Amino acid sequence: MRKIVFVCALFLAESIHAQNASSQAATPSAAPSAASSPATTAPILELEPLIITAPRLKLPPNAILDPQINANLLRLLQLPNMRPNPQEQLDPSLTNLANLTTLDGYNLQTRYTQLGFLLTEGLAGTKDMTLQNSLQTIIQTGTNVQIQALALDALAYTHDPQFIPLFQSALQNTNVTVRFTAMEALYIMANGKPDSNISSIIYTAAQVDSSLAVKLYASHLAWELGNTFGRETLLHHYQDMDWFTRAFATHYLGEMGHNDVFSLIQPQLYTETNPSVQAELCWALLKMEKYRKP
């Protein structure tokens, strides 16, 4: 099953980075030091993906579901908030999960602090026309970006090409989370196979997107679907002045690169000063070690 990057973590990291940049710009007279520079205090980015299991896709085609399942999912889609309320956030078990730094701990924390993730799992791949119509309406007219994002992913797992124009229209949304998920939804539609049409849609949209995070993520998806221009975009940014951009580009180069990429980014390991980028470089080089020329 397709692994997806959970959007909230990505844009939280981007937001933290933006705040650090703003803070540094606000105090130009302060000399940067090893102790105070964002390059040394930035948290290491964890880009391990969550997994949408899409249990509907594992059912027999003629399976008859308990009608209460879809009825409850439809009701939950109407909730105004996808996160625990203040009282629920005080639950000791949730607090304990928040302190875990392992991948399983992070996954569990996400499951029980982001209702949208659970709803995506329950709705992914639905063939029910009532649910499909509701999800389309949410994407087109909804105001809660979290619910719009889950609706995009849920419909993507149907692998029904009729929804491609809907996803394309979402690429024009003013909200970065919706655009990011629309890219992801198009990738899911391709089902992990090279697709020149979808890769072209993703790459073309990425070139005009105002968010560099979306641009790099989409370039990686386009490259994975066979569009080598995505590779060139990532190579253009792995030496960027901005540490977040370098980390992000390096991560995806490591995902897809071969010996030529290995030889290009290896020298960065000896000059890079940001710990997040250093960690991504080590990860990327380990991923590509099998391609290293002796």
Domain for residue 20, yes or no?
yes
Residue 6 has pLDDT above 80, yes or no: no
Where residue 29 falls among pLDDT bands split at 50, 70, 90?
Answer: very low
Kindly state the average pLDDT of the residues 248-257: 93
The answer to whether residue 7 scores a pLDDT higher than 50 is: no
In a domain, 257, yes or no: yes
pLDDT tens figures, 81-121: 777 777 777 788 777 777 777 777 777 777 878 888 888 88
User: Is residue 175 assigned to a domain?
Assistant: yes
Of 2 and 64, more confident:
64
Nearest-angstrom CA–CA distance, 31 and 29: 6
Confidence of residue 135 (pLDDT cuts 50, 70, 90): very high
Q: What is the pLDDT of residue 170?
A: 96
Q: What percent of the chain has pLDDT over 90?
A: 52
Domain range holding 134?
A: 3-24+38-58+68-79+90-291
Query: Exposure string (b/e) for 120-144, b if CB count within 10 Å is 16 or more?
Result: bbbbbbbebeebbebbeebbeebeb
Question: Has residue 8 got a pLDDT over 70?
Answer: no
In a domain, 32, yes or no: no
206-244 tens-digit pLDDT: 889 999 999 999 999 999 999 989 999 999 999 999 999
Q: How confident is the model at residue 166 (pLDDT cuts 50, 70, 90)?
A: very high
Structure confidence at residue 47 (pLDDT): 39
Is there a domain that residue 99 lies in?
A: yes
The CATH number assigned to the domain holding 111 equals: 1.25.10.10
The model's confidence at residue 50, banded by pLDDT at 50, 70 and 90, is low
More confident residue, 290 or 93: 290
60-78 mean pLDDT: 90
Helix axes 212-224, 243-256, angle to 10 degrees: 10
Total domains present in the chain: 1
pTM equals 0.76
What does the pLDDT read at residue 94?
A: 74
